[in-house]
Chain A
Amino acid sequence: MAAGSPDRLAPIRQGWARLFPPRPATGAVVMRHVPGWRVIAGKELTDHVTSVRFLVLLVILALAAAVPLYFASGQIRTAAQQVSGGQAIFLALFSLGSDQFSFLRADRFIALLAPLLGIAFGFDAINVERTDGTLPRLISQPIHRDDVINGKFIAGLGVIALTLAAMITLVTGFGMLRLGIVPDISEIVRLVLWLALTVLYVGLWLAFAMLLSVILRRAASAALIGFGTWLAIVIFGSLVITLAANLIAPQPASINTLADQQQDLSARQTQQLITRLSPATLYVEATSALLMPVDPVTAQGGAANYNARSIDELIQAADTRRIPSLLSIDQSLLLIWPHVVVLVAMTVALFAAAYVAFMRQEIRA
């Protein structure tokens, strides 16, 4: 590093050099070929970490972790007494919240915020390079054109994954230190899987935001459309889906006869199918299966859960009954496997669309 330059990461780099002293140079300078996407991802990561929006992300995530934790830590003692053996009690840190406000739960908060994070780190990925005139200079360097979009996607995903991992680790540490509960191996695995699932879900929205940033020349319109979509899905999503499902397969007025019941069943199945078109539903269901490992079948007690429309509701219903019948991890995974596959497919499709659009675009503004 040249003397006098304000290297923003100098303290970190110095600390790192102290921990891992660089190997002495052996003879001639060997040029290691670093692929272009890694250079770009490195630069983007530095930009993200030093940006204002990263600070905002930290504050929001800290609130999303701290507020539910406050309620959860009050409730967890009573919950611990109810759950025999205290199994899976650690996960309750993330899935318990206020009695009055059901949404004040860490997992619900994350489900709400994840799209926001993805959009916030992706909506200006390509279009700002274009409006600032840096794109022609960037791709006139000896790199492939896709290095730009790949590097930016990986950097965005990386910074979100790091922050989420830090948040989960902090909550875990708080639980161990202040509440005196220790996660067992299966709970740790579940938390890691949940983290991976969340990163995947954020990746989906990041890919969507990058698609917008490629298609729309102005960052402001990309942000507007991105956040608009998020609002539409989170707030009006379930409403629209219920209306649509009712139009396609109306529920019967009563379920007295067998025919009524059959119609009711098919109506519910249709509704479930349509609901699962939304990635938000898929994520919430998969999260419930991972964080609340209650067997929905044994717990529901026959027809008691007839009204449940999704895995989520099924588990919720089971949860209120507090029947401690736990699923093993592989059984939980089996339950959410289709969800994960669909989420991956959606992410890949969105990123592929962004990729193709970017590759076909002319460089000139």
Chain B
Amino acid sequence: MTTPPDEGPRPAVRGIRAKRDSRRRLAGAARPSAAVGELPADPRAVIVARGLTKRYGDFTAVDHLDLDIRPGEVFGLLGPNGAGKTTTVLMLLGLSEPTSGTARVVGLDPARQPLEVKSHVGYLPDNVGFYGNLSGRENMRYTARLNNLPGSVAEARIQGLLSDVRLSEAADRRVDTYSRGMRQRLGIADALVKEPSVLILDEPTIAIDPSGVDEILALLRRLVTERNLTILLSSHILGQVQSICDRVGFFSAGRLIAQGRLAELAGLAGGGQLTFEVGAEGDQADVERVLQTVIGVKRVTHDPVDPRWLVVSSTDVAASLTAALTAAGHPVVHLRRRGEDLLEIYRNLVPEETDGRRIA
């Protein structure tokens, strides 16, 4: 059932086994709907989804999701509320049965081997709750017992994790007295008690003050480097998580409309064009003239919101823009490439029709 905790995760080996397993299972499967031809593109992928679909009656919560998440990667599942993020996560954990399609988590099928999957995957649910009448340590002890950890191993591990999330002081206080941020940190520690190789976090930064968000993100970043974890996190607040995501996927109305590295997505969103925001001192008419002379610049317009210029180009002209302006005697006070911000990418990707379900 559960693997011994001492055995460290070997993602590469497991990934290969995952591929072989899935191929064998798919070949002999009594499920014609499973797409046999669409095997994991990346043989090392820890989380794989192929055509994953969940319907509630007429409503399609998740629509033919394809996903590959590689070991040691932080993948951000982004999208507005109700886009199907939590449903996806629940299907990956085996807590919800997919209507069609398949998933593999650490090489296992969550729909058929939920117990094995759940012993490898730590999960921080959206709005995580604890037993308020117990202390933080007792809550974690319960989780350890549910994972069949022997007492001595569990106690040492809990102690270590509690100090990792800076809750050693409060460990023996009732969870009732914890703040929102403390609960969230306890939730992360709790998800790590089983020493998972994959961590799934559902809205880890929601309803937390900015300094608390920074703290949680710093904690997650440290976990990735120290424990070689693969993290899948979902969020509807792009700005908060973009700093730690290696790759992101954008969810809208049950569909994954784009996924990839931020830089790739920025290019995708701009349609092969780059936009720079430029602000320089001096005569603005002259500034506009100078900007237009730079090679590669296609168009220069006035920013409707701020007193600065928007420069559209086909190549990266940041260096030449600065050089040209400085040479003309206009000190540059603002220079920024647009589209690197997740919010802007998302605005560009999601069509207007999604009526206000955009990300704030």
A→B interface (CB under 8 Å): 1-2, 4-6, 29-34, 36, 39-40, 42-43, 47, 132-144, 362-364
B-side contacts of A29, CB under 8 Å: 150, 152-153
B128 is contacted by which of A36, A40, A137 (Cβ under 8 Å)?
A: A137
B171 nearest CB neighbor, chain A only: A5
| Structural contact, A132 and B132, CB atoms closer than 8 A | yes
| Structural contact, B132 and A43, CB atoms closer than 8 A | no
A39 is contacted by which of B121, B131, B145 (Cβ under 8 Å)?
A: B145
The 3 closest A-B pairs by CB, nearest first: A133-B129, A136-B125, A142-B119
Give Cα distance in the complex from A281 to B135, angstroms.
45
Asked if B86 is at the interface (CB within 8 A of a chain A CB), the reply is yes
Give Cα distance in the complex from A137 to B128, angstroms.
7
A-side contacts of B133, CB under 8 Å: 47
A-side contacts of B115, CB under 8 Å: 142-144
* Given A30-B150, A138-B146, A141-B118: 16 more A-B contacts, CB < 8 Å: A1-B155, A2-B158, A5-B135, A5-B171, A36-B146, A39-B142, A39-B145, A39-B146, A43-B145, A47-B133, A133-B129, A140-B118, A142-B118, A142-B146, A362-B96, A363-B95
Given known contacts A5-B135, A29-B152, A364 and B86 CB-to-CB distance under 8 angstroms: yes
* 0/1 string, B158-196, CB within 8 A of A gives 1: 110000000000011000000000000001001000100
Given known contacts A1-B155, A137-B129, A31 and B137 CB-to-CB distance under 8 angstroms: no
Asked if B147 is at the interface (CB within 8 A of a chain A CB), the reply is yes
Give Cα distance in the complex from A144 to B143, angstroms.
14
Given known contacts A1-B155, A29-B152, A31-B4, A141 and B146 CB-to-CB distance under 8 angstroms: yes
| Structural contact, A134 and B2, CB atoms closer than 8 A | no
Give Cα distance in the complex from A347 to B129, angstroms.
32
Give Cα distance in the complex from A364 to B148, angstroms.
26
| Structural contact, A141 and B155, CB atoms closer than 8 A | no
Asked if B116 is at the interface (CB within 8 A of a chain A CB), the reply is yes
A-side contacts of B194, CB under 8 Å: 141-142
Give Cα distance in the complex from A209 to B87, angstroms.
30
* 0/1 string, B89-123, CB within 8 A of A gives 1: 01001011000000000000000000110110101
Give Cα distance in the complex from A345 to B127, angstroms.
40
| Structural contact, B129 and A132, CB atoms closer than 8 A | yes
| Structural contact, A142 and B1, CB atoms closer than 8 A | yes
Give Cα distance in the complex from A232 to B149, angstroms.
47
B→A interface (CB under 8 Å): 1-2, 4, 86-87, 90, 93, 95-96, 115-116, 118-119, 121, 123, 125-133, 135, 137-138, 142-143, 145-150, 152-153, 155, 158-159, 171-172, 187, 190, 194
Separation in Å of the B7 CB from the closest CB of chain A?
A: 12
Give Cα distance in the complex from A142 to B143, angstroms.
10
A-side contacts of B96, CB under 8 Å: 362-363
Separation in Å of the A247 CB from the closest CB of chain B?
A: 42
B-side contacts of A139, CB under 8 Å: 95
Give Cα distance in the complex from A136 to B187, angstroms.
12
A-side contacts of B4, CB under 8 Å: 31
Separation in Å of the B98 CB from the closest CB of chain A?
A: 13
A141 nearest CB neighbor, chain B only: B146
B183 nearest CB neighbor, chain A only: A133
Give Cα distance in the complex from A5 to B131, angstroms.
16
| Structural contact, B148 and A31, CB atoms closer than 8 A | yes
B-side contacts of A39, CB under 8 Å: 142, 145-146
Given known contacts A140-B123, A141-B118, A33 and B155 CB-to-CB distance under 8 angstroms: no
B-side contacts of A30, CB under 8 Å: 150
6 CB-based A-B contacts, threshold 8 Å: A2-B155, A42-B145, A47-B133, A132-B132, A136-B126, A142-B147
| Structural contact, A4 and B172, CB atoms closer than 8 A | yes
A143 is contacted by which of B127, B129, B146, B159 (Cβ under 8 Å)?
A: B146
Q: Which of A43, A139, A141 has the largest count of B CB atoms less than 10 A from its CB? A: A141
A-side contacts of B130, CB under 8 Å: 132, 134, 137
A-side contacts of B126, CB under 8 Å: 136
| Structural contact, B150 and A132, CB atoms closer than 8 A | no
Give Cα distance in the complex from A34 to B171, angstroms.
26
B136 nearest CB neighbor, chain A only: A5
B-side contacts of A135, CB under 8 Å: 129
| Structural contact, A5 and B172, CB atoms closer than 8 A | yes
Separation in Å of the A150 CB from the closest CB of chain B?
A: 14
| Structural contact, B172 and A136, CB atoms closer than 8 A | no
| Structural contact, B123 and A134, CB atoms closer than 8 A | no
| Structural contact, B159 and A2, CB atoms closer than 8 A | yes
| Structural contact, A5 and B138, CB atoms closer than 8 A | yes
| Structural contact, A34 and B95, CB atoms closer than 8 A | no
Separation in Å of the A14 CB from the closest CB of chain B?
A: 15
Give Cα distance in the complex from A32 to B153, angstroms.
13
A-side contacts of B123, CB under 8 Å: 136-137, 140
| Structural contact, B172 and A6, CB atoms closer than 8 A | yes
A51 nearest CB neighbor, chain B only: B133
| Structural contact, B90 and A363, CB atoms closer than 8 A | yes
Give Cα distance in the complex from A137 to B86, angstroms.
14
Give Cα distance in the complex from A39 to B129, angstroms.
19
A-side contacts of B95, CB under 8 Å: 136, 139-140, 363
Give Cα distance in the complex from A39 to B142, angstroms.
8
